[in-house]
Structure 1
Amino acid sequence: MHAEVPGFTSTHLTLAGTERTVYLRGQGPAVIVMTEVPGITPAVAAFATRVADAGFRVYLPQLFGTPMRPVSPAALARTFAHVCVSREFRLLAADASSPIVDWLRALARHAHGECGGPGVGAVGMCVTGNFGLAMMLNAPVIAAVLSQPSLPVPLTARMRAGLHASPAELAAAHEQIDRRGARILAMRFDNDPLCPGARFERLRHEFAAAVETIEIPGRFANPQGPRPPHSVLTNHLIDEHGQPTRAALDRTLAFLREQLLPA
Structure 2
Amino acid sequence: MRDLEQDDPLEDFARRAVTLNGVAKQVYVAGAGPAVIVMTEMPGISPHVARFARWVREAGFTVYMPSLFGRDGAVPMADEGAAVFQRVCVSAEFRAFAANASSPVTQWLMALARLAHEECGGPGVGAIGMCFTGNFALTMMLEPAVLAPVLSQPSLPLNEPAGLEIAPEEIAAVRARLDRDDLTVLAYRFAGDSICRAERFAAYAEKLGDRFIGRTLPNEAANMDVAPFFAKHVNYPHSVVTQHLIDEAGQPTIAARDEILAFFARRLGTA
TM-score (norm 2): 0.91
| Residue 207 (structure 1) aligns with | 208
- Aligned AA for 2:49? V
Number of equivalences: 257
Cα displacement (A) at 1:89: 0.6
**Aligned counterpart, 2:3:** none
Is the Cα–Cα contact under 8 Å of residues 11 and 23 in structure 1 kept in the other structure?
yes
Which 4+ stretches in 1 moved above 2 angstroms? 178-182
Code of the aligned partner of 2:197: P
Q: 2:239 aligns with which of 231, 236, 239?
A: 231
Q: Is the 8 A contact 2:41 2:133 kept in 1?
A: yes
Q: Report the Cα offset of residue 181 of structure 1.
A: 2.9
Distance 2:217 2:270 in 1: 30
Give the RMSD, CA atoms, in angstroms: 1.4
The code of the aligned residue for 1:188 comes to: R
Q: Is the 8 A contact 1:108 1:139 kept in 2?
A: no
How far 1:245 sits from its partner (Å)?
Answer: 0.9
Secondary structure of 1:213's aligned partner: strand
* 1:65 counterpart SS class: coil
Separation in 2 of the partners of 1:122 and 1:24?
A: 14
Moved more, 18-27 or 173-182: 173-182
Verify: 1:71 aligned to 2:96, yes or no. no
Q: Quick one: percent identity of the two aligned structures? A: 50
Query: Partner residue of 2:217?
Result: 216
Counterpart in the other structure of 2:249: 241
2:267 is the alignment partner of 1:259: yes
TM norm structure 1: 0.94
1-structure distance, mates of 2:182, 2:22: 31
Structure 2 distance, partners of 1:171, 1:160, is 20
Contact 2:129/2:152 (CA < 8 Å) preserved in 1? yes
Q: Which residue of 1 aligns with 2:140?
A: 135
Of the three residues 18, 22, 35, the one matched with 2:23 is 18
Distance between the aligned counterparts of 1:83 and 1:181, measured in 2? 35
Q: Is the 8 A contact 1:105 1:139 kept in 2?
A: no
C-alpha deviation, 1:52, in angstroms: 0.9
Q: Deviations over 1:182-213 (max 9, x none)?
A: 32110001111110100111112222221211
Aligned to 2:60: 55
Measured after TM superposition, the shift of residue 262 of structure 1 is: 4.8
Q: Do structure 1's residue 178 and structure 2's residue 183 form an aligned pair?
A: no
**2:123 is aligned with what amino acid?**
P
Answer whether contact 1:95 1:164 (CA < 8 A) is retained. Answer: yes
1:100-179 map, 5 Å: 100-153=105-158, 155=159, 159-179=160-180
Distance 1:233 1:75 in 2: 22
Q: For residues 203 and 11 of structure 1, what CA distance do their matches in structure 2 show?
A: 34
SS at 1:135 equivalent: helix
Q: Which residue of structure 1 aligns with residue 5 of structure 2?
A: none
**Does residue 46 of structure 1 match 2:51?**
yes
Query: Could you say what secondary structure the match of 1:21 adopts?
Result: strand
Runs of at least 5 residues in structure 1 that lack an aligned partner in the other structure: none
Tell me whether 176-185 or 82-91 shows the greater mean CA deviation: 176-185
Structure 2 gap ranges (5+): 1-7
Inter-partner Cα distance in structure 1 for 2:101 and 2:22: 21
Whole-Å separation in 2 of the counterparts to 1:141 and 1:86: 26
Following superposition, the deviation at residue 81 of structure 1 comes to 0.8
